[in-house]
Amino acid sequence: MREIIVDNREAASNLPALLKEHGLNVRFYQLAVGDYILSDEIAIERKTVNDFISSIFDGRLFRQVEDLTSSYRQPILLVEGDITIIPSIVSNIKVYYGALASLTINFPIKLVFVPSLNESAIFIERLVYNLNKEQKPHNIVKEKGQSLREQQLELLASLPGVGEKLAEKLLKHFGTPIKAFNASQTTLAEVIGYAKAKKVKQVLESKFEEQQEDEKNQSRLM
């Protein structure tokens, strides 16, 4: 499905319109983390070169990257614009490269530079194309927890797109697994992001569908 979730604040830019021209279905939502959500695992934080530099010096960058990496397994930081101007707009170029080094060493994030808005649109569209082309199911096998805490973490980590880190984040936020299960999609989205919250609520609230009789018979013959 060529659909992506875009933060409301990005509506002011021309990028969502370009993405629509590239055939993507853009849905706007107020996102707590990230600017463009491609799946329950992939999210993009987009910055212009000037905003990227400003966020390094005012401390926003690392807070945003930490939130992104704790919420998504494949976070991407997309920096858009002419990077050749960077030496002329920073007082100490070592601070800039020090920030790049810290991002590379301390965070599991992909840093991508593109020269213009149009290339941002092409890059995101190609990400979506390859994501749909190479749908690869992944199974996370965990050992059965022994303590109550481990059992609670395992229970929440089994939800789609959650995993151990977000399970712990949910428990810290809600206190108990049952409160997390009963939370509204909007409340969940504040903790784990819109895409994951939507999928979790779908799994928790959808009616169980029994296997059809002919499918059962077919499975017995296989």
Rounded distance between C-alpha atoms, residue 164 and residue 117, angstroms: 36
Percent above pLDDT 90 for the chain: 56
Do residue 176 and residue 94 come from a single domain?
A: no
Rounded distance between C-alpha atoms, residue 96 and residue 102, angstroms: 10
Query: What's the whole-number mean pLDDT along residues 35-46?
Result: 94
Do residue 16 and residue 118 come from a single domain?
A: yes
Query: What's the whole-number mean pLDDT along residues 25-30?
Result: 95
Q: Is residue 222 part of a domain?
A: no
Give the CATH number for residue 36. Answer: 3.40.50.10130
pLDDT tens track for 120-129: 999 999 999 9
Among candidate residues 84, 105, 133, the one where a domain is terminated:
133
Q: What domain count does the chain have?
A: 2
Give the pLDDT confidence score for residue 142 in this predicted structure. Answer: 44
Give the CATH number for residue 161. Answer: 1.10.150.20
Do residue 95 and residue 155 come from a single domain?
A: no
Please state, rounded to an integer, the average pLDDT across all residues of the chain.
86
pLDDT tens track for 122-165: 999 999 999 887 555 444 444 444 588 888 888 888 888 888 88
Query: What's the whole-number mean pLDDT along residues 67-79?
Result: 93
Give the pLDDT confidence score for residue 162 in this predicted structure. Answer: 87
Give the pLDDT confidence score for residue 221 in this predicted structure. Answer: 45
Among candidate residues 110, 133, 156, the one where a domain is terminated:
133
Domain that includes residue 152, residue range: 148-205
